[in-house]
Amino acid sequence: MPKKKSKDPEFEIKAKVTGADDWKQWSKKSKVNSSHGTSGALYFVGFIGSIIYWTQAAVGFGAIVTGLLKSMVWPAYIVYKLLENFYGVAL
């Protein structure tokens, strides 16, 4: 059974990439700073804890959605409440 020829033309691209080995030298020189993983883990644990807190306090579907949104911004919520308790309500 002969092969069907496609109507698409076949072509070959020959190109020389300049500087392809430069990334190897750059990666040896650069240092990776991985000291930010702890804050991400702390935020994630707080996010999960916040979801649990707000969903337990929820009465309806709207409260659950609001609780999920509050869980995403819980650090800002905590800072606001701390400043409110320290300085009072801003008018």
Q: What is the pLDDT of residues 66-85, one digit of tens each?
A: 989 888 888 887 888 888 88
Q: Which residue did the predictor score with more confidence, 17 or 38?
A: 38
On whether residue 18 sits in a domain, the answer given is: no
Q: Which domain holds residue 83?
A: 59-91
pLDDT given for residue 62 in this prediction:
92
The burial of 74, by beta-carbon neighbours within 10 Å (0-12 exposed, 13-18 middle, 19 or more buried), is given as middle
Question: Is residue 35 included in any domain, yes or no?
Answer: no
Number of compact structural domains in the chain: 1
Q: Where are the alpha helices (DSSP H) in the chain?
A: 22-29, 37-57, 61-72, 74-87
Overall pTM > 0.75 = no
